[in-house]
A and B are shown apart, each in its own frame.
Chain A
Amino acid sequence: MNTRYSDKSPLYLRIPGIVGKILILAAASVFTAFPFVWMVVSSLKTKADILNTDIFFPSEPQWGNITGILFNSPIPKYILNSAWVSLVIVALQIVSGAMLAYALVFLKFRTRKILFAIVMATYMLPVAATYIPSYIILANWGILDSFLGLIVSSTVSIFGIFLLRQGFMQIPKGLVEAARMDGASHWRALWEIVCPMTKSSFITFGLMNFIGTYNNYMWPSLITKTSDYFLVSQGLRAFFVRDGAYGTEWALVMAASAVVVIPLLILFAFTQKWFINGIGGETGMKG
């Protein structure tokens, strides 16, 4: 398709360049993949193997480490907590975000510009600066240390509003107006006309925020203290520090990390194109 990087120089002159390219890519991939590989091989080692730096692979894979984590540890419970709390949060964020983005693009009202400026400003502020007052609000409402508190404090995604607004602006205004002429409500126009046309923005929004919420650590760890309500990051950290007997049970800690990380890598393998096309195309800096 493109001639942009084509090089007409003879092959022998291009060889150093090609070798250099392969070396850089190989080094970067090994550096990136190594922690994952090391996590998996370490998770299958015995206590003796893991402290022996001369062996890379386990002498005999200890599948018991993995099954122990799967059936005899709180890690699967944390994974489920993270999964369903994130699903609820992302669903709420999609509805609230789509409605606000629709209003910003298709409804005419005088404070529209100011509203967008406010949303834009909050996007860049450090979220941690809100934590102390937000903590007090949840305490006053009596929903600290609960799933409800986690959900209620995260029902809006500023990133998502940007992403959807960007997508909605590509839709010809006439389409929505025509639907309104035919008697469709704004609600129906949003979900039956605008949403199907910007499906990819919605999918990218859903996936990005699902992963972000699923992995979130600082805010959930501040407001939840009972392990029943731990999301996966906090649960894993607790396991690492306390249950996993920090410094002695490295194989188990690596097995727990692997059990947490591998499902996400599988999810990513199937949804890769939504991340790569979705986020790359939306720098949010134009328009």
Chain B
Amino acid sequence: MSTPKVKRKFKRRYDKLPTVLLFVLPALIPLIVFWIYPICRSVYLSFTNWDFISPTYKIVGLKNYISLFRNPRFFEALGHTVVFTAGTLIPTIVLGLVLALLLVRNFHGSGILKFILFSPWITPTVAISIVWTWIYKTDGGIANTILTALGASPLKWISSSDTAMLSVIIVTVWKSLGYAMIFYLSALERVPGELYEAVALDGASKWRTFFDITLPCISPTTFFLMIITMVNSLQAYDQIQVLTQGGPSGSTRTLLYMYYQLGFQEFNMGQATAVAVVMILLTVGLSVIQFKASEKWVHY
């Protein structure tokens, strides 16, 4: 073979390389340094007994995982994570859809309602959680004043392990409701009008129309919101830190909060990264299940 030909071929394959690198590296380098490498490093650290302060550490194999699986606190945290995720995901999606259905047709004042309903999402979780702490105050808090006025008995909200999780869930749903609503509003607008006309000719009832046309047409949005809300709930930190710090008596300690306490309060990096790995596996596992299940009910 002739050298110039090889050279040209080589040149053609690689002459674009500098351009590609120039365009890719500004994002790829930070992505590797602060995302991909740290994830791999976390997996590695979960097999060590590093305590953050000592310069040396040993590989301890599965010891961190074994002691995690023997620790009742871990299973409590796992249970709280499941309760919190389901408890925020279902109301957010159902109520978000109900509000979007009521607001999809513009009427006088619908703009301001959308503004109000979406506004919690843009405000700092820390600020609004502080406000909610004040609302939830056991004596003299407005939540109990309202309950008493309605004839119900006052609750201890964030100061009792029976109601703390409920209180955190209420704040989280309050914050994410408008976000789900916005996604549903644009999904509902994109449902082809002919479909409604067709079933209207058949004389279908409103409920039939909703279940046969609307719900399948917006199923990709429902699926997207399920994934996003799940990922957000698995990572919720701000409201827990401000409202309860995982308490009382661990009743709002989720896996993420346990990770924070192990890593940044107890400096048990091995155990903390083991919890992080469990969180990664949980996220991946739940996403895969949702993707598999979505083939049955999501219509693209």
Of B1-9, B65-73, B161-169, B191-199, the one touching chain A: B191-199
| A29 pairs with B116, CB closer than 8 A | yes
In contact, A3 and B196 (Cβ under 8 angstroms): yes
What does the 1/0 interface line of A107-132 toward B look like (CB < 8 Å)?
A: 11100000100110010111111111
Using CB atoms, name the residue of chain B closest to A267: B122
A21 / chain B contacts, CB cutoff of 8 Å: 102
B31 contacts A261, CB within 8 Å? no
Of all chain B residues, the one with the shortest Cβ separation from A2 is: B193
In angstroms, how far is the closest chain A Cβ from the Cβ of B215? Answer: 14
B237 at the interface (CB under 8 A from A): yes
**Contacting pair B113 A25 (CB below 8 A):** yes
Q: Determine if B128 and A28 form an interchain contact, defined as CB atoms under 8 angstroms apart.
A: no
Kindly specify which of A63-71, A171-179, A250-258 makes contact with the partner chain.
A250-258
Residues of A within 8 A of B197 (CB): 3-4
Interface residues of B in 159-183 (CB under 8 A from A): 174, 177-179, 182-183
Complex: how many Å from CA A158 to CA B228? 14
Given contacts A99-B24, A115-B24, A156-B31, contact A133 B37 (CB under 8 A): yes
The answer on a CB contact under 8 Å between A24 and B39 is: no
* Interface SS of A by simple majority: helix
The interface size of chain A toward B, counting residues with CB under 8 Å, comes to 88
| B34, B135, B287, B300: most-surrounded residue (chain A CB, <10 A) | B34
Known A131-B263, A186-B19, A233-B126: A126·B238 in contact at CB below 8 Å: no
23 residue pairs from A and B, CB less than 8 Å apart: A7-B206, A28-B95, A33-B119, A100-B26, A102-B23, A122-B36, A122-B39, A126-B276, A128-B256, A129-B42, A129-B277, A137-B34, A158-B35, A215-B124, A217-B125, A233-B127, A234-B126, A236-B126, A236-B127, A265-B119, A265-B122, A281-B186, A285-B220
Besides A125-B280, A128-B260, A268-B122, 8 new A-B residue pairs in contact (Cβ under 8 A), listed by A number: A36-B131, A53-B140, A128-B259, A137-B34, A186-B19, A217-B241, A257-B130, A286-B220
Tell me the A residues contacting B by CB distance below 8 Å: 2-5, 7, 21, 24-25, 28-29, 31-33, 35-36, 38-39, 42, 51, 53, 95-97, 99-100, 102-103, 107-109, 115, 118-119, 122, 124-134, 137, 152-156, 158, 161, 186, 211, 214-215, 217-218, 222, 232-234, 236-237, 240, 250, 253-254, 257, 260-261, 264-265, 267-269, 272, 275-277, 279-281, 283-286
